Amino acid sequence: GMGWGLLAVGLLLAVYTLLRHGLRRLPPPLARPELRGRTAIVTGGSGGIGAATALELARCGARVILAARSAPRGEATAQRIRTETGNAEVRFMQLDLASLRSVRAFASAFLRQEPHLHLLINNAGVSAGGTTEDGFSLSFQVNHLGHFLLTQLLLQRLQSCAPSRIVIVASSAHCAGRLHPDNLGHPPPGLLSTFQDYCDSKLANILHARELATRLQGTEVTCYAVHPGFVNTELFRHVPLWLKPLFLPLVWLFFLDAAEGARTPLHCATHHGLERFSGRYFTDCRPQQPWPLARDDRLARALWEASERLVGL
């Protein structure tokens, strides 16, 4: 059923990426920028790429807010990062992107408790089926709608602290995305529904960055969409059990670890002189043309207006 389709598309994407980028050719190591006095939020910061990104930001001296759903995991990760970096300015705050109410509560608590915001890393992602309390499909809400609302609620603070940046973690899976602005958040029926929903949400991520950049011109707030690479994180925890043995050799061969997956998000968050690339899509720490639908300005605007309506802005 869906598992086979998911595996087939995953394999094609992996092969395509390998042919395109060569086997695990890594960009040069990151210079450590000085981030003391700067505040960052990392969504999905309790594990995977999010935790690796937060760790590196903390090493650079930033104050880092790990925004994640699970308090035990979030607190444990914050503690681990404080210990590992010697940076005491790392804290967990609860955020469940599958609940627009939780997004609003997080934003108002953050704005009340934290005077500054310079970096917003919209990293959290899921690839699971299901419906949220708000009535949207889980992947689309967590990956796009929840982050869209979060970004809007924090935008004024980002502007008052400018220069500041927003990094949206997308994926090359956007190549299979299709968006119908009048039917957002309700994936098509059928076997590949969950996978389609994931791809749609990743297309939405890239279009979100594109339209956001247009609206932010002249504010010194810039934004970037990134493909982190095929990273072996818990995103794949929903692969059916019988498929796991097929997946494991692939994972060992081709998938990056979380620290490698954090490179491109970190590059877009901290690298000097990227302002002229605001709204663009990055792979391997370089701007790259996404697939044609992800460059459609009319679709980007339609997505924006529909998203505003759906999250009640």
Question: How many C-beta neighbours within 10 Å does residue 92 have?
Answer: 23
- Assess contact for 67 and 116: CB atoms under 8 A: no
| Burial degree of 139 (CB within 10 A; 0-12, 13-18, 19+) | buried
User: Where would I find the beta strands (DSSP E) of 149-280?
Assistant: 164-169, 221-227
Question: Of 199, 95, 226, which is closest to residue 153 (Cα–Cα)?
Answer: 95
Cα separation, 128 vs 132, whole angstroms: 11
- Assess contact for 74 and 94: CB atoms under 8 A: yes
**Catalytic pick from 16, 198, 224, 281?**
198
Could you confirm whether 224 is annotated as catalytic?
Answer: no
CA distances from 39 to 114, 120, 165, 239, 264 (A): 9, 9, 11, 35, 19
Catalytic residues: 198
